Amino acid sequence: MPNFLEDMTMLETFVCVSVVVIYLLISIFTADDQSSTENEQLDKLDDGMGNIIADGEHMTRQEAEDAQARGELYDTYY
List of residues 6+ apart from 55 with CB closer than 8 A: 72, 73, 75, 76
Tens of pLDDT, residue by residue over 20-72, are: 999 998 888 776 555 566 778 888 888 888 888 887 888 998 998 898 888 88
Q: What's the confidence (pLDDT) of residue 1? A: 47
Q: What's the confidence (pLDDT) of residue 75? A: 58
List of residues 6+ apart from 72 with CB closer than 8 A: 55
* In the chain, where the domains are located: 38-78
Please check whether residue 73 is in contact with residue 55, taking contact to mean a CB–CB distance below 8 angstroms. Answer: yes
Tally the residues of the chain. 78
